[in-house]
Structure 1
């Protein structure tokens, strides 16, 4: 079974990062179990979209940008799409890398000293990421991620179990949608941290590193469902744990563990810190990796992950994260641009995915079924709504 697990684990690790931890914690602290349904919808949407992206990668043995370049006939439109994608992924991931490294730093600080150790820890975490990416092949990274996601999953599920949650409350929150007053932006944020545009590029590119035959489609589908389902379980476990925390608000995910310490002892802090460290490292690896894959497809570089230009792109993203943290630079404007770009990118990429995955000339007999199209169009509509709301929020109109 473990030999069949592949790129889906990296996608799950990518979306369960410090940002997701913080948003799930906020949702649990502020609204209890009532927004679990939003996570369930997000996970289903992620499975559908990532399944399409993975299928395109396996059937065509190309990255998403390569396929789009081949299928969009208009040179002007093709260049516009590539520019939007490249700008959103490269700049966005460089901005968010600081948050990923910061989450790992926060977890490590709690495990070794309970005291802030900046600026040394961000550099230390950055060096770990550098060595893992520079010297690892896809197969090695896959094994590392299986281990880290396993640690992350066990840590957060144990945290949820020791809070002795209400099973009835969880089921109600999962299948009876509610929208408590003031919860709309939290719902948008929960979906936005789960359905991540850059993961579509990452998945399609990694699939061809793992499999080369259409006979592996069934394995690919199960890998996507199981891995992303596990990521969703981790997100729900964080929200459930936060519901039991005696807090009115939080500054970061680790605040929840500190609040739970009087109830469950120091082990709550250690479990949460371990999970946060694993989540930070996994997201800090996948974000620069996705940026490098997009750059590689955009400029037609050969040699895959071992290409020196490929390595320089992810190195630039990692350096941005370390520099932002080490010198306390607040990349607010860059992050705001990334939010706007991702708000535009998600519906564009979801629409392009649907278009490509329905082209018989590209997918042959593996094009979308009617059910997949119905789900896909529903997700595109929701993505347009989500993107519009996130853009309006950033520019101050909502």
Structure 2
């Protein structure tokens, strides 16, 4: 049973990374506009995040230290600072969206405007981080997030033309009035969402929280190769539901309510209740991940005490960073900025920061001083370099495509 629960770190990371508020809406939006014609991007992203998460997990298991700590030491403070600034700003932007996502989930359940839920959502995130042990945090929200499997069941219940969905997935191109520029923009957005920087930082820091050693390499790999593919499958199911319900009638998805509607159509009120719990768990789990990742990156760069394995009083600056970030999230959302729009922008900006995040990980994973006999082999390095090339292309193309397509509008 302990081995089963050990996998929940990967599940929590996957749910929070693949199926947060932005991904819920983006996958549904893409499904409604392109059907399954961008599903290859999700598959590509799953392989990439598995590749680099496995590297970061092995670094922790072998060295006993988180990736960001080693980035500063191995590459120097200046290079580490560039990585810190890029990844921190993207993570903070994502945190703002996740707090808004939790509030939107409460709005759907209660009918009360989401702005009234924003302070309560942020306070709840802080309270859980302050009081709940890391092992319980990852188990509860990781397993609750699995309720989003209801999207996959709903897709089957809706009775789609499976041949048509397969045809869409195997014919990747824009349709109707959609342009190649818009198609490429959403491809980069999905790719950036799948490989968001905070995922690897949270995963590696979580390994330290769990006190991984070399004997835990099997646990690390089970986390990676079960958790992340599961998140990818959930993303495909969300896109599939939208493709079945919205694409034939030309409806665009822009709200969280539209995302959950296919489940309600398939199962009625019971399905709606289940999916709302799953959405809450996914967005709240993502808010926990991004909050912790903000604290992890800052504290590890400056060499402060950090983590939930010590008392909050012993890691006061680590917790102060998270409190400040949560307050910034509240203040930003109270300006009435659309949290869904914030996340759509955050995944594109994440694509810009990806090379700065993953190149240092590849360098450290090849350093025998840290990795000893667990350095990358030829296959891992070959795939790692291919993905770095893809990340660089996505990084360069992100802003021009955002301007040309007016953010996919």
The reply on whether 1:351 has 2:359 as its aligned counterpart is: yes
Out of 309, 318, 322, the position equivalent to 2:330 is: 322
Q: Distance in 2 between matches of 1:177 and 1:18?
A: 28
Write the mapping of 1:348-387 to structure 2, written as runs, cut at 5 A.
Answer: 348-387=356-395
Counterpart position of 1:179: 173
The reply on whether 1:229 has 2:217 as its aligned counterpart is: no
The reply on whether 1:282 has 2:314 as its aligned counterpart is: no
Residues 111 and 274, structure 1, Cα contact 8 Å, conserved in 2:
no
Q: Distance in 1 between matches of 2:231 and 2:54?
A: 15
The reply on whether 1:125 has 2:116 as its aligned counterpart is: no
Q: Distance in 1 between matches of 2:40 and 2:343?
A: 27
Counterpart position of 2:162: 167
Residues 189 and 348, structure 2, Cα contact 8 Å, conserved in 1:
no
Q: 1:333 to 1:277 in 2, by over 3 A?
A: closer
Indicate the larger mover: 25-34 or 258-267.
Answer: 258-267
Residues 26 and 344, structure 2, Cα contact 8 Å, conserved in 1:
no
Q: Distance in 2 between matches of 1:164 and 1:397?
A: 34
The reply on whether 1:106 has 2:104 as its aligned counterpart is: yes
Q: Distance in 2 between matches of 1:336 and 1:6?
A: 27
Counterpart position of 1:55: 58
Residues 156 and 234, structure 1, Cα contact 8 Å, conserved in 2:
yes
Residues 160 and 237, structure 1, Cα contact 8 Å, conserved in 2:
yes
The reply on whether 1:302 has 2:305 as its aligned counterpart is: yes
Counterpart position of 1:10: 12
Residues 12 and 228, structure 1, Cα contact 8 Å, conserved in 2:
yes
Q: 1:30 to 1:364 in 2, by over 3 A?
A: same
Q: 1:322 to 1:178 in 2, by over 3 A?
A: same
Residues 32 and 243, structure 1, Cα contact 8 Å, conserved in 2:
yes
Shift of residue 338, structure 1, vs aligned partner: 6.0
Q: Distance in 1 between matches of 2:338 and 2:153?
A: 34
Q: Distance in 1 between matches of 2:238 and 2:341?
A: 29
Shift of residue 104, structure 1, vs aligned partner: 1.7
Secondary structure of the residue aligned to 1:316 is helix
Q: Distance in 2 between matches of 1:31 and 1:337?
A: 20
Q: Distance in 2 between matches of 1:154 and 1:60?
A: 36
Write the mapping of 1:41-120 to structure 2, written as runs, cut at 5 A.
Answer: 41-72=44-75, 78-112=76-110, 115-120=111-116
RMSD: 2.7
Indicate the larger mover: 59-68 or 45-54.
Answer: 59-68
Deviations 1:146-194 (A, max 9, x none): 232222x3332233232223433444455x3512253111111111111
Shift of residue 249, structure 1, vs aligned partner: 0.8
Write the mapping of 1:134-149 to structure 2, written as runs, cut at 5 A.
Answer: 134-149=130-145
Residues 18 and 100, structure 1, Cα contact 8 Å, conserved in 2:
yes
Secondary structure of the residue aligned to 1:119 is helix
Secondary structure of the residue aligned to 1:352 is helix
Secondary structure of the residue aligned to 2:31 is helix
Secondary structure of the residue aligned to 1:29 is helix
Deviations 1:247-269 (A, max 9, x none): 52121232133477567544454
Alignment size in residue pairs: 389
Q: Distance in 1 between matches of 2:172 and 2:71?
A: 38
Counterpart position of 1:156: 151
Residues 296 and 306, structure 2, Cα contact 8 Å, conserved in 1:
no
Deviations 1:264-322 (A, max 9, x none): 54445434433322221111111111111001111101253331111111112222222
Q: 1:326 to 1:148 in 2, by over 3 A?
A: farther
Q: Distance in 1 between matches of 2:184 and 2:352?
A: 19
Residues 28 and 241, structure 1, Cα contact 8 Å, conserved in 2:
yes
Q: Distance in 2 between matches of 1:118 and 1:38?
A: 32
Deviations 1:111-133 (A, max 9, x none): 23xx3424321122112111101
Q: 1:259 to 1:173 in 2, by over 3 A?
A: closer
Residues 21 and 340, structure 2, Cα contact 8 Å, conserved in 1:
no
Q: Distance in 1 between matches of 2:275 and 2:124?
A: 21
Unaligned 5+ residue runs, structure 2?
A: none
